[in-house]
Structure 1
Amino acid sequence: MNYVYIVQCKDGTLYTGYAVDIKKRLEEHNKGGGAKYTRGRGPVRLRYIEVCTDKSTALRREHAIKKMDRRQKEALIQSICLLGKDR
């Protein structure tokens, strides 16, 4: 599987990423590894996850989400919460 995800860092900022193994990736973030941005901002909390059919689709989606402003990302997170799938 290919995942696009948004985590909330300890300082309240949001980080968007791509992973094949989401559980492993979150562990990496929380151990201070993974993305340079999240180092020192842990622990992180998963706020949003999206499953994509292939890597190229996931990377395009990650790029699109990264271009969103915070308000748009919060709306995306809220849309999944309204469906009862809050992570």
Structure 2
Amino acid sequence: MPWFLYLLECADGSVYTGIAIDVAARFAQHASGTGARYTRSRKPVQVLAQFEFADRARASSAEYWVKRLTPREKRALAAG
């Protein structure tokens, strides 16, 4: 089953990074306030990008590196 790394644009202009099997369902959780603590105070506006990985381990590894990027770098990654 594939896993996805996803980037969310938040209302304050920040970019949240996470992993999930179903990005749409996870976005709905973030939007309703039942997702990550970070997105409870910074409401997500949209999914900027999602990238598919073969398994959770690879998605987690990618998440580790992407979380170290600046918001500008994350936006550039999302833009391609």
Give a deviation string over 1:48-76, Cα, whole Å, max 9, x none.
10000010000000111001112211210
Aligned counterpart, 1:24: 25
Q: Which runs of 5+ in 2 are unaligned?
A: none
Aligned counterpart, 1:9: 10
Q: For the residues of structure 2 that align with 1:41 and 1:67, how far apart are their CA atoms? A: 19
Give a deviation string over 1:4-29, Cα, whole Å, max 9, x none.
00000111110000101111100000
Aligned counterpart, 2:76: 75
Q: Which amino acid aligns with 2:5?
A: V
Q: Which structure dedicates a bigger proportion of its chain to strand?
A: 2
TM-score (norm 1): 0.85
Q: Does 1 or 2 have the higher relative contact order (CA < 8 Å, sep 6+)? A: 2
Look at both structures and tell me which one has the larger radius of gyration over its CA atoms: 1
RMSD: 1.0
Aligned counterpart, 1:41: 42
Q: For the residues of structure 2 that align with 1:25 and 1:42, how far apart are their CA atoms? A: 13
Structure 1 consecutive aligned stretches of length 4 or more whose deviation exceeds 3 Å: none
Q: Secondary structure at the match of 2:38?
A: coil
> Across the two proteins, how many residue pairs are aligned to each other?
79
